[in-house]
Structure 1
Amino acid sequence: MEPPSSLDPPEEVVELPPRTSSFPSSFIYNLPPRGSHDVHNDNNYHADNNDDYLDEFELEGLVMTSNACSHSPSVFSSVGSGSGAGGRSRIRTRAQNTYTHLLRHCSPVMALCSLAWNPHNRSTSAIALLFIAFLCMAILTKNDVMAWHRSIFSHTSHKKSTKLDPFSNLTTEQRQSLLKTIYGTYTFYDGSAEDRPSTPYMTEANAGNAYLDLPSEKFPLESWQADAVYANHFLDASEKLVKRAMQAIFATYHGHGLSDVHVVVSQQQQQADVSEDGGEEEGKVEYSMEDADERSSRRSKMFHLEEIDLHKVTSIEELEAVAPSWDKKGGWTTERSFDGLKRRLIHAMMTNSNFTVVITGSWQSMGYGGNHAWQSMAGVFETLLKGLFEKLGVSLVVRAIGLPPLTGLSLEEEMELAKGARSTFIHALGFSSIYGSDVDMIVWDDYSSKEDGTSSHALDEFGAQLFDFFARQALLSGTTHLPFIWGGDFTVLRNLHEHADADIGQLGNALLGVPETSSRKVAYDLPWAAQYLNCSKDMQSTCEDEVHLFESRCWVEQPEFVPPTPQLDHIPILPSAIGWRMHQLKGYTLVYILLQATLDSLFEWSDITISQGFPLADEYWHMGKYIENVQDKIRSLDESSAPHCFQLEEKINLPKRLCTHKMKGRTEFTPRADPSETNVRSIIDSSQEISKMTHLLLDGNEVENPIRTIPKGEVDALEIFDLRGKRRLLPGLLMERNVTRVNGVEVDYIDGHLNAQYRRRSVAITPGDGWQVLNGLGDDCDGSLSSTISCGRLPSSTCLLEDHQGSRGGIWGNETTEWLVLHGIDTENGYVALNLEVGDRNKTRQDLLNSLPDSFVIEYAVDGTITSLDKSFFEKSKQPVPGMTLVNVFNDETIKEAKDVIVAVRLKGCVDSTSCRIAVTHVYWS
């Protein structure tokens, strides 16, 4: 088993220009300078009685002043009144640098301009000369005057801060050195790597179980887990790394806490001229810093995670009384649950395995409707944490599994969907396959939407029932993993915690810890990430302006490639969409909470091994019995102790036994776990050919989106994490893939229509021809940011850099395509269901039903037994949630052992209507 990888020395960080907004602006704010100094000219000059005459001595003096002063440090011997020699030297050096630049570059310009003076306009020319001098100082001086210069002479307005970079006077090396001094560096390495066991020992066979719960006596003496020197150094370095990361997150919203950052040069350097290339003198960096304890206290309050005793707190009202405003801090959990999260993290570190996080919710919570995928909560979380976990020997897997907004909904359906818990149900019916069976932590964010873009944590009765089903399936889904559940209905979470020992909690967004934006000028002074986020009442309308909520860019011109479809300027913004600032804050909060759990687990690991030695004792990290206990109790839950899920049978005809048994599934929707193995095509009869419309990726170089660069002078958390070398940029290489042809016509997943030949077939269950995969994004979309380069960049796309992976694909057919035959459905609890889509998805359900002829019939067959559903079935049936047509095709609760079922489906009775087509989007079974 390989030990956690060591970290090479950090790469040099190259300063990048500030990002510019892709949004047009109708206003420009000319803000007053921050900290700029008045410039006084105390030089006296000689003038004779003829005031309009410039004699040769005056001209010579103007030209020669630069050389005289720039080589005479004594000119500044009395400048400054700082306390102590260090203070005087510092101010004197800064003044000398400013004056030297000014005189060296500006004096000759002023002297030459004077040659063009008209003797009769001496006064006017003098004013002009003074103005030129002032301009030169503003442009060339590298101190606070630059802030004034930028505010006056900037002709572009954007929502990013243009305030002065606190490190502007430092070289790249000095800046890096200062950050390392403040935050520290990760320098851990394995000095005995060559002695580690070459034969894998952390295996299922060696452990004797699938959980990789290796008994302590089976660890080789040379393994890193048993090496006290290695393990102690690893724990110490990891604790420092995690602490630094937590500080970085706070600094993103509160700055580094530095002021008066400057360079103090030696006396010898003061006397020397600046280098010929105009570079800065090297010297010692000095600064003032906020009190560390005070910053730590504010950080703890901002991300405070309340530990709740659910024996005493029995309702959401009591929760609000015990932990007021928890939703605007770090959130809440229980002591036992947090211990369970720490156990999972230690297990992942001890086994050097994956730690899988699934983030799911409504389209708003997933970042659709105006944001790039990397701007979403899930994208921010993965970007920040993946590299840090690699240093801990853990591979962080993040799946952001959510769907884009539905089209063709009525107003009533839109309102229903916005109530919460509806969006995740369509995948929950096949949880272990679609979300995955290897999940260690789930973030559920399908709360009801509000007009202000925030979320309420209360769900209605039906929403609570749907969430209970989701949570149970999550807990039953894994054979070797058990997810910690963040989010959901309070009562349901409490029931699962108290009656099934589930680890649960609800996340906040830390908004109370963000500095308030009370005016535009205050916003300008705030760190970039905090601007227009936590707003006073007077600023609410301003903060809700799209120019402050959203920023995106669909394409960056490439000299070697032009997209086949014209690109939009930015991602279209949809009503009720949440802007990138709140997504980033939620992502940072999630990272912070997981880092807190990681830090606590490292502390615990260290404390235990001080007295008990290495490797860490089994009882503190093994997961097998822990998982079995929770799953056994979930399967034993009854209606009296946890009623919500069982009420779905009456509500939407979902059998009660599904609340206590794991479900599997297949879908053509994306994203999904293990996408090449979890599509519907994987269970289609091998003799049946399906036209798979492979998507076309565009061939070109890596496309760097300029808005992904942190503005110069602002805190870049990744830089402090020390995970990236130059900039926060994910791979963006566009490649080309093959495109299939149907009847000689190129089609992609979004475009394309059924074109199979019309023909009649017998009623025998034989596979038909002409079924096609449409509207999907392929088999590379697993919800991770790394898969965006191979997922869904279609030639028809108008925003190639959006990178969201959500699609509602299906296997489409009509009357001519006959039977679609599905194999490999290994039901253990006698349940199989299909999710079907009928006709034009841009029509409302009622309009669609009105367009279908009375002869419309869908037939399905289970093991050769055919059932027909006519138009009246769809008219009478109620969708479980908007966008779903769930058909229970097999429901036999008497089955007590595994049985393979063959299911087939076809459409009859309407060959001429364009609405007469169906799609199988999901297959569910248990």
Structure 2
Amino acid sequence: MERNSDMDALVNSHIQRTRGTVRNRGEHGVLCRPSYLFMTVLLLVVFVATFLTESIEININLKKVDGSGDSKPESSEAKKATSPSSKPSPSSKPSTTGEDANSYENEVASGKFSIPNVEDDPANADNSNVERDVDNISDSTVPGGGSTSEEVPVSPSHVDEAVVPETLVQDTVIDNLESISNNRTPVSTGDAPSKSPTFGAEDLPPGFKKHPSAISDVYVRRGKPLDDAEKAKLADTWGSWTFVDQNANNRPSADFYADYPHRDIPFDKIPETSWQKDPAYLASFLPEAQALVERAMEAILAEYGHSKFDEPQMDFEKRSDMFSLTMLDLEKGEKFPKTASNAGCTTKRSFDGLVRRILHAIMSEDTFNFVMGGHSSAAGHGNHFQQSYTLQFQKVMEPIFARLGVKLTSRNIGMGGLGTLHNSLGAGSIYGSELDILMWDSGMTERGAPIVDLFSIQGMIGGSRVPFIIAEGSLAELHTHAGADVGKLGTGMRGIQKTDSVKTLEQIPWAARYMDCSPEMRTECGNNKYRGTCWIHRPDFNPKLAQKAVPGGRANWHPGDRSHQLEGRVLAFLVLRAIKQALDLWASAENYRLPDEYWHVAGYYQSIRSKLISLNPAIGGCHQNEGIIQRACSTAMKSRTEFTPRNNPSETSIRSILKGNYDFKILPNVYDPPDVFVPDLSVPDGVFEYLAVVENGEDFQPELSRVQRFSSTRRLKSTHHRSLANPSITPGKGWFFTGNSAPDNCDGTYDSFCGRSQDNPCLLYGHNDGRSGLLFDSLSGWLIMDLVELKEGIIILKIEDWHGAKSNKATEGWRCENGSAECSGRRLSSAIRRGNYTSTQLDRNLKAKPPEYCEKFVFEYAIDGKVTQMKKDEFMKKMIQAQRVVQLWVLLDDPNFSSGDPKDVELAFRITGCGREKTMHLTHVYWA
């Protein structure tokens, strides 16, 4: 970095003055003494260092003002997009990040399978070897603390300012938000949009706050700011939303759907003043909604050069061929293809089921939820979290659903180096109980029908809704024998132009460039595969740790942001087609009265669920899963975990069901949301923008489902207290939480905000996935929890037994359980015991060879106070190696345990006999 010339002159002048002083004093012979010479040199070094640092920091600020602070672009395309340099930061160090995850994916791809020493994915990664993968930049426990300036106290604590690598510099800390008034206003860090009412944000302390968009009762525009002239021009060309409910103030304010299962209120019970019974309202609303859907489909086609303006001589079906949907007739023997270059395939009955779900969401003003479970490629590693296809779908479809009065939530529950088994066993809790679409995408880490079918079946029987399934496995069998709604997503590559030379790039739409490349262009395409940056200067906060130039995880098998964008558009087009059919069906109803059987879902869900539960074990592959109890294929399981991301993190953590005070230290983010505007999350200036078309128009209105959801979050649930089943079993004091910073914000959504920890070298990366849990050893004592509504007599623990000896900080300095004074003679203070467990320490521990079980090892567990012991050999024998890094212990498998009646059960367990030499990690608890 070049230093400012004025500052150089200032430093040189100061040095000359200092030297002159030395010479003058030297004439008297005083400073010729060695001690005085040493002190003089020391002072000189201090002065020079001080002014050099000031010069660098002032230079950064000057670059912020004059716009010269942008680093070199990655390539010819990146120059146009003003993206940051692809070179690693000079301060970045090589890392082994992701080797564990990537080696596993390579093994699966080559047909091998092994259980090597496990190393988790630390936060430091570089891209010097494209075969490497950063499977989570915030995957392990990180130290707390924060940083902020004295003037803007927005983060949890104060630290010294640090010089960060050159990167994009922005004048104002803003997020790309827009208030409901259509007026763009820069949003300061931690503030909500100026006119967006929020709920509960004031209750959260610094370091744990949620994104303003996540707590708004109205959709917040995500597109680039437009002035009135630009909006008017767009409206003339594309149209815009003009509908306004003239009788909005006279509509019922009560949630009259809530008294009916699944909000299936009979039409004749809907209040007469409701919009559903207002023909004048529907006569205006439905055509406006139909036009919006057509506008959205045309806007997606425009991104790829196939809109009605690009190809006016062709009809819609030909222009949209890349997003066409194949309807299979399974009764005639048609099969799901391995791959498809269009939007994919489904059946008419399944598509009609998706239409029903959409009609239900609109009619009952409910939510609509999409969840993806998958591996690192699906999670979007190498890209910003918000660039992943799941969240691209959210970005594209959220304003469409918002105009229809529906709250859309999409969750990216992808994790690097793992499959889906660990989440599938508790899908109703971890993925969510109210799913409308559930997608499996983990082909590199798990293959074959058995594991995919477990994912699909638990996804359908584990929650209150039965989702439309997008997956592999036994789709046809589940559809034919259980009535499941199923589909398989295509690639959409049918409509992508080939990138065959640099000269023809300008002729290819921006979104389609570098996607289908000729051999001559492979290098150029590789150089333009990703867009991303780790840090953009903001005036209110400087990271302590130097930030990398670009995110890690750019493995050769990970798709870049354009690929994720296309997959998100493929899924969006599928849903847009279903919305269009739903609206057309509604508009054709006599007097716009939609019969209940078209949109009620309770009976529909119950029919599918009951067939799945009673499904013949010979159908499909679920019962072929080795080691997993067979009842998991027909029994709805519950789960609590510390792995992230997950649905509703504050209520699905293991911590949420514990009895007693375990004094866990939950680390905060070092700054609060929103992030600054990140250009790489939007198309470059001058490129057609989808959101500019679909967001244009009247103000968005509050959605009933948003208001209900955020009003309820303000009412804190009371902690469930029950007397201990066995008074001799008391909560242990040596359990250590290894989670992300602000883990209860890691919900996999577009506005999730967690993992912004002090040792994160890429704070804008945004990924949620972390293998968090509770560390324990033989000195930790009992962990006690309540398992609510246990009915089927199943309890399973997922425990990692490979963690390094003496790695549990909570028991450091102890010799006996719970740090008993009689045994240790001295107990470390809580501040020392709860010291930070850094990613470097975790990486070091997990790389080491796992210590053997000591001969005196005993695992004790108590169910409602009744203690059972397993010594080393029995405990090891009962371990189920379900997948490479998925170890399960079944503590209860008794269908007669509760005599068919649900009951709350107390579970407690501990290990003894090995001191601090055997450290284990609890990550999941499953029960049914």
Superposition TM-score, scaled by structure 1 size: 0.66
Q: Is the 8 A contact 2:342 2:492 kept in 1?
A: yes
Which residue is 1:179 aligned to? 234
Q: Is the 8 A contact 1:859 1:906 kept in 2?
A: yes
Whole-Å Cα distance in 1 between the matches of residues 369 and 774 of structure 2?
A: 30
Which residue is 2:860 aligned to? 859
For residues 121-140 of structure 1, the aligned pairs below 5 Å read none
Which residue is 1:675 aligned to? 649
Whole-Å Cα distance in 2 between the matches of residues 27 and 342 of structure 1?
A: 44
Whole-Å Cα distance in 2 between the matches of residues 871 and 554 of structure 1?
A: 48
Whole-Å Cα distance in 1 between the matches of residues 544 and 266 of structure 2?
A: 59
Which residue is 2:794 aligned to? 831
Counterpart of 1:802, as a letter, is Y
Which residue is 1:487 aligned to? 471
Q: Is the 8 A contact 1:471 1:485 kept in 2?
A: yes
Which residue is 1:886 aligned to? 888
Residue 491 (structure 2) pairs with residue 509 (structure 1):
yes
1:379 to 391, 396, 399: 391
Residue 256 (structure 2) pairs with residue 201 (structure 1):
yes
1:589 to 556, 570, 574: 570
Whole-Å Cα distance in 1 between the matches of residues 788 and 287 of structure 2?
A: 50
Change (3 A) 1:525 1:871: farther
Q: Is the 8 A contact 2:77 2:528 kept in 1?
A: no
Give how far 1:919 is off: 1.9
Q: Compare CA radii of gyration and give the structure with the larger one.
A: 1
Give how far 1:200 is off: 3.8
Which residue is 2:613 aligned to? 635
Which residue is 2:244 aligned to? 189
Residue 823 (structure 2) pairs with residue 772 (structure 1):
no
Whole-Å Cα distance in 2 between the matches of residues 467 and 30 of structure 1?
A: 42
Which residue is 2:350 aligned to? 337
Counterpart of 1:393, as a letter, is G
Q: Is the 8 A contact 1:255 1:714 kept in 2?
A: no
Larger relative CO (CA 8 A, sep 6+): 1 or 2? Answer: 2
Q: Is the 8 A contact 2:862 2:907 kept in 1?
A: yes
Give how far 1:595 is off: 0.7
SS of equivalent residue, structure 1 residue 333: strand
Tell me whether 194-203 or 598-607 shows the greater mean CA deviation. 194-203
Residue 481 (structure 2) pairs with residue 499 (structure 1):
yes
Whole-Å Cα distance in 2 between the matches of residues 435 and 29 of structure 1?
A: 36
Tell me whether 532-541 or 824-833 shows the greater mean CA deviation. 532-541
Residue 449 (structure 2) pairs with residue 475 (structure 1):
no
Which residue is 1:568 aligned to? 548
Whole-Å Cα distance in 2 between the matches of residues 19 and 476 of structure 1?
A: 57
Q: Is the 8 A contact 1:188 1:237 kept in 2?
A: yes
Change (3 A) 1:311 1:27: closer
SS of equivalent residue, structure 1 residue 593: helix
SS of equivalent residue, structure 1 residue 695: coil
Give how far 1:845 is off: 8.7
Tell me whether 807-816 or 585-594 shows the greater mean CA deviation. 807-816
1:911 to 891, 909, 915: 915
For residues 74-113 of structure 1, the aligned pairs below 5 Å read none
Whole-Å Cα distance in 2 between the matches of residues 29 and 820 of structure 1?
A: 52
Gaps of 5+ in 2: 1-65, 81-225, 700-725, 805-841
Which residue is 1:433 aligned to? 429
Output one character per residue of 1:548-567: Cα deviation in whole Å (capped at 9) or x when no partner: 11121011112332112111
Give how far 1:505 is off: 0.2
Whole-Å Cα distance in 1 between the matches of residues 481 and 70 of structure 2?
A: 51
Output one character per residue of 1:255-297: Cα deviation in whole Å (capped at 9) or x when no partner: 767xxxxxxxxxxxxxxxxxxxxxxxxxxxxxxx544351624
Whole-Å Cα distance in 2 between the matches of residues 478 and 384 of structure 1?
A: 26
SS of equivalent residue, structure 1 residue 211: helix
Tell me whether 696-705 or 712-721 shows the greater mean CA deviation. 696-705
Whole-Å Cα distance in 2 between the matches of residues 856 and 21 of structure 1?
A: 58
Output one character per residue of 1:703-723: Cα deviation in whole Å (capped at 9) or x when no partner: 122323421221111111126
Q: Is the 8 A contact 2:297 2:576 kept in 1?
A: yes
SS of equivalent residue, structure 2 residue 868: strand
Give how far 1:856 is off: 4.0
Give how far 1:764 is off: 4.5
Change (3 A) 1:643 1:256: closer
Which residue is 1:719 aligned to? 692
SS of equivalent residue, structure 2 residue 439: strand
1:445 to 435, 441, 458: 441
Change (3 A) 1:345 1:18: farther
Counterpart of 2:432, as a letter, is G
Counterpart of 1:720, as a letter, is V
Which residue is 2:405 aligned to? 393
Whole-Å Cα distance in 1 between the matches of residues 323 and 779 of structure 2?
A: 59
Q: Is the 8 A contact 1:835 1:884 kept in 2?
A: yes
Change (3 A) 1:382 1:291: closer
For residues 693-732 of structure 1, the aligned pairs below 5 Å read 693-698=666-671, 702-722=675-695
Residue 639 (structure 2) pairs with residue 660 (structure 1):
no
Output one character per residue of 1:443-476: Cα deviation in whole Å (capped at 9) or x when no partner: 2211237xxxxxxxxx74xx31011111111111
Give how far 1:664 is off: 0.3
Change (3 A) 1:763 1:344: closer
Residue 622 (structure 2) pairs with residue 622 (structure 1):
no
Whole-Å Cα distance in 2 between the matches of residues 787 and 603 of structure 1?
A: 32
Counterpart of 2:624, as a letter, is Q
Whole-Å Cα distance in 1 between the matches of residues 789 and 546 of structure 2?
A: 47
Q: Is the 8 A contact 2:371 2:438 kept in 1?
A: yes
For residues 806-845 of structure 1, the aligned pairs below 5 Å read 806-838=769-801, 839-840=803-804, 842=843
Q: Is the 8 A contact 2:250 2:273 kept in 1?
A: yes
Whole-Å Cα distance in 2 between the matches of residues 910 and 626 of structure 1?
A: 54
Q: Is the 8 A contact 1:669 1:921 kept in 2?
A: yes
Which residue is 1:216 aligned to? 267
Q: Is the 8 A contact 1:856 1:871 kept in 2?
A: no
Give how far 1:175 is off: 4.9
Counterpart of 1:550, as a letter, is Y
Tell me whether 518-527 or 621-630 shows the greater mean CA deviation. 518-527
Q: Is the 8 A contact 2:743 2:755 kept in 1?
A: no
Counterpart of 2:597, as a letter, is E
Tell me whether 614-623 or 592-601 shows the greater mean CA deviation. 614-623
Change (3 A) 1:28 1:200: closer
Counterpart of 2:786, as a letter, is H
Counterpart of 1:793, as a letter, is R
Whole-Å Cα distance in 2 between the matches of residues 363 and 533 of structure 1?
A: 20
Whole-Å Cα distance in 2 between the matches of residues 862 and 602 of structure 1?
A: 53
Residue 307 (structure 2) pairs with residue 305 (structure 1):
no
Gaps of 5+ in 1: 1-16, 32-170, 258-288, 321-325, 407-416, 418-422, 450-458, 727-761
Counterpart of 1:633, as a letter, is K
Change (3 A) 1:711 1:666: same
Aligned residues between the structures = 650
Give how far 1:182 is off: 2.5
Which residue is 1:136 aligned to? none
Whole-Å Cα distance in 1 between the matches of residues 278 and 383 of structure 2?
A: 47
Q: Is the 8 A contact 2:286 2:587 kept in 1?
A: yes
Change (3 A) 1:541 1:763: farther
Whole-Å Cα distance in 2 between the matches of residues 344 and 807 of structure 1?
A: 32
Q: Is the 8 A contact 1:691 1:770 kept in 2?
A: no
For residues 45-84 of structure 1, the aligned pairs below 5 Å read none
Q: Is the 8 A contact 1:780 1:787 kept in 2?
A: no
Give how far 1:849 is off: 4.0
SS of equivalent residue, structure 2 residue 752: helix
Q: Percent identity?
A: 33
Which residue is 2:373 aligned to? 360
Which residue is 1:527 aligned to? 509
Output one character per residue of 1:367-416: Cα deviation in whole Å (capped at 9) or x when no partner: 02x1101110012111121122111011111121122x34xxxxxxxxxx
SS of equivalent residue, structure 2 residue 376: coil
Output one character per residue of 1:729-770: Cα deviation in whole Å (capped at 9) or x when no partner: xxxxxxxxxxxxxxxxxxxxxxxxxxxxxxxxx994332112
Whole-Å Cα distance in 2 between the matches of residues 835 and 20 of structure 1?
A: 49
Change (3 A) 1:597 1:20: farther
Q: Is the 8 A contact 2:661 2:731 kept in 1?
A: yes
